[in-house]
Amino acid sequence: MVKSVLISGASVAGPTLAWWLHRHGFTPTLVERMPGPARGGHAVDVRGVALEILDAMGVLEAVRESRMQMKGVSIIGEDGSETWRSEEMTISGGRFDNKDIEILRDRLSRLLVADLPEDIEILYGDSIETLTDDGDSVAVEFAKNGTRQFDLVIGADGLRSNTRNLVFGPDREFLHSFDIALAPFSAPNTLGLKDWQISYRNARNDGYMIYTAPGNEELRVCFQVPLTLDDGVPDRAGQMALVRERCGDLGWQTSHFLDAMEAAPDFYLGLIAQVKMPHWTKGRTALVGDAGYCPSPFTGQGTSLAVVGAYVLAHELARSRGDHVSAFARYEAKLRPFVAQNQAIAELTRDERFNDPEFYTSVIEPAMDQAKGAIELKGLS
Ligand SMILES: Cc1cc2nc3c(=O)[nH]c(=O)nc-3n(C[C@H](O)[C@H](O)[C@H](O)COP(=O)(O)OP(=O)(O)OC[C@H]3O[C@@H](n4cnc5c(N)ncnc54)[C@H](O)[C@@H]3O)c2cc1C
Protein residue with least CA distance to atom 29, ligand 1: 11
Rounded distance between C-alpha atoms, residue 129 and residue 225, angstroms: 32
CA of 11 to the centre of ligand 1 (A): 7
Residues making up the chain, counted from first to last: 381
pLDDT at 280: 98
| Residue of higher predicted confidence among 52 and 90 | 52
Q: What does the mean pLDDT of the chain come to?
A: 94
Best substitution site from 20, 30, 39, 42 to test ligand 1's pocket, by max atoms within 8 Å of Cβ? 42
Output phi, psi for 86, to 5 deg. Answer: -140, 140
H-type alpha helices, the chain: 13-23, 49-56, 60-65, 105-114, 162-167, 171-174, 236-247, 254-263, 290-293, 302-319, 324-343, 345-349, 357-359, 365-372
Q: Average of pLDDT values for 93-97?
A: 83
Ramachandran assignment for 265, one of left (phi > 0), alpha (psi -120 to 50 degrees), beta (any other): alpha
- For residue 213, the 8-state DSSP code is P
What is the distance in A from the centroid of ligand 1 to the CA of 57? 20
Q: Which of 151, 148, 142 is nearest to 4 (CA)?
A: 151
The residue whose C-alpha atom lies closest to atom 27 belonging to ligand 1 is 158
Tens of pLDDT, residue by residue over 262-293, are: 999 889 899 999 999 999 999 999 999 999 99
| Class of residue 91 by CB neighbours under 10 A (exposed 0-12, middle 13-18, buried 19+) | buried
What residues does ligand 1 touch, defined as CB less than 6 Å away?
Answer: 8-14, 31-34, 38, 42-45, 92, 105, 127, 156-158, 162, 182, 184, 270, 289-291, 294, 297, 300-304, 306
Q: Which residues fall within 8 angstroms of residue 323, CB to CB, at 6 or more apart?
A: 2
Site to probe by mutation for ligand 1, drawn from 29, 140, 157, 342 as the one with most ligand atoms within 8 Å of Cβ, is: 157
Give residue 329's pLDDT.
Answer: 98
Total-model pTM: 0.94
pLDDT tens per residue across span 204-224: 989 999 999 989 999 999 999
Distances (CA, A) of 44 to 41, 58, 265: 9, 20, 19
Instruction: Return the ligand 1 atom nearest residue 16 CA.
Output: 25
* pLDDT range class, residue 95, cuts 50, 70, 90: confident
Distance 159 CA to ligand 1 centre (A): 7
More confident residue, 361 or 56: 56
Poorest-confidence range of 201-205, 286-290, 299-303?
201-205
Stretch among 96-100, 300-304, 351-355 having the lowest mean pLDDT: 351-355
pLDDT at 360: 82
* Pairing mode, strands 285-287 and 152-155: parallel
Q: DSSP letters along 105-162, please?
A: HHHHHHHHHHTS-TTSEEEET--EEEEEE-SS-EEEEESSS-EEEESEEEE---TT-H
Least confident of 70-84, 94-108, 184-198, 353-367: 353-367
29-55: average pLDDT: 92
Contact predicate 338/374, CB 8 Å: yes
User: What number does the ligand 1 atom closest to the CA of 304 have?
Assistant: 11
- pLDDT range class, residue 381, cuts 50, 70, 90: low
**% the chain with pLDDT above 70:** 99
At 317 the pLDDT is 97
- Of 137, 153, 145, 133, give the one whose Cα is nearest residue 21: 153
Check pLDDT > 70 for residue 167. yes
- 89 CA → ligand 1 middle, Å: 24
